[in-house]
Chains A and B, each alone.
Chain A
Amino acid sequence: MAIKIYGGAKSTCTGRVLITLFEKEVDYELVEIDLSKGEHKSPEFLKHQPFGQIPYVVHEGLELYESRAIARSVAEWYAKQGSALYGSTAHEKAQVEQWLEVEAQNYNPAISSLVFQLVFAPWFGKTTDEAVVAAQTAKLESVLDIYEKRLSEKKYLAGDFFSLADLSHITYSYYFIKIAGKGAIYDSRPHVKAWIDGIFARPSTQKWLKLAGFAQ
């Protein structure tokens, strides 16, 4: 077994890792961590992931956490197989890293806050803070305006090839668009819409949706 993942099939961050493994055609085993029982905050779990977050992975004696770090490392370890998630040249790899950072620093804060307010808060019996939703939606829309311009020039974020930068957007975007039903701000931006529809349609995304129990 190449990689053992400790996380949740439905989880956005575990999903980021799973989709990467599917794109790179890597064998894995998923051990479900029961968030509802607080398993991720247990002393035993904290020995492996001291921040009390999922996922973490074990690969050839190494324990690793942070989904974007895991995804990057998987893309390196399995560079010779599956999709070329870092492109084919040093220049392309630099573009991938730039847009992967854009996702982490500019897209993620807005969309993770929105997914928490619109999806997770209700799941856990908390109220949605509409002021936060309004503010974060405005932030997300200004990011999407930049994406619209970029995607009118290139087919994908890092260039004319699907990369880890696009992949990193999939799981949180799915929660926001399909589960929370807030896709209007994507639909109104034609290049963003084409891009997000395309990456949702990928076999690796579909495989994650099936595993997570979201597939129609």
Chain B
Amino acid sequence: MAIKIYGSFRSPFAMAAGLAVYEKDQEFELVTMNMKSPEYMNNFNPFGKIPSYQDEEIILFESKAIMRYVATKFEGQGTPLLGSTVHEQALCNQWLEVHSHSFTPLIMDIFRTIFRNPEQPDASVLKPALEAFEKVLDIYEARLSASKYLAGDSYTLADVAHTPFFYMFNALADEGSQKILTSRKHVYAWIHDISSRSAWKKLTDRPDNTYYKRS
């Protein structure tokens, strides 16, 4: 059975799962289901969220669990994603947690504010949301001035997790907001690097991945 990913590429979490599969030189079928349907919740994800993953051996949910499984199952194929040294493996774990607990909540606040009023996001909410996010970006800037990727010299799942969120930010945020990235030299170079990868281009070239193309 080929790999199936359940979800849509409106979700950065589904994109991260797809990116991990492509980085390991595998293919997948994207399947859309109503994530709140009994069929989906009973068979794929009781929390009624996307993505879920299915292959001949397993059904999994939670994007980071999917990414880790794919990185391990296809070890030796495509790009190594778990780090080349004991230190990198540990720091990959660390930066995946940072992504979950410090990065994602703040960038999702920004996205929600923009989604509520795309033409003119509420500045009284957006401004503090951007400021809070910038404090976290300062920490990333310090890290990435010492290290090419988050875990060290090697590109890992920690970087994979971030790419779709910057893609969304690029599509959704106005020019003024974009400055918070362009003004941070090492963050900006890192975003450019991880967004230039052929696996990422393959994902964004998919005809079912049209939600965040800047017109």
Contact = CB atoms under 8 A, between A and B. Distances in A.
B69 interface: yes
Interface majority SS (helix, strand, loop, mixed), chain B: helix
A102 B94 contact: no
B111 interface: no
A76 B90 CA distance: 9
B210 interface: no
Interface bin, chain A? 20 to 34
B65 A64 contact: no
Nearest to B139: A50
Contacts of B94: 64-66, 69
A91 B58 contact: yes
B88 to A, nearest CB: 10
A94 B65 contact: yes
In the A-B complex, the 8 residue pairs with the smallest Cβ-Cβ separation, listed nearest first, are: A66-B97, A101-B62, A69-B93, A98-B65, A97-B65, A69-B94, A73-B90, A50-B139
Contacts of B61: 98
A105 B96 contact: no
The A interface, classified by DSSP as helix, strand, loop or mixed, is helix
Interface of B: 46-47, 57-58, 60-65, 68-69, 72-73, 86-87, 89-91, 93-94, 96-98, 100-102, 139, 142
Contact of A94 (B46, B47, B58, B139): B58
Contacts of A102: 47, 62
Given A50-B139, A64-B93, A101-B64, 6 more contacts: A51-B139, A64-B90, A90-B72, A91-B57, A146-B46, A146-B47
Given A51-B139, A91-B58, A146-B47, A72 B64 contact: no
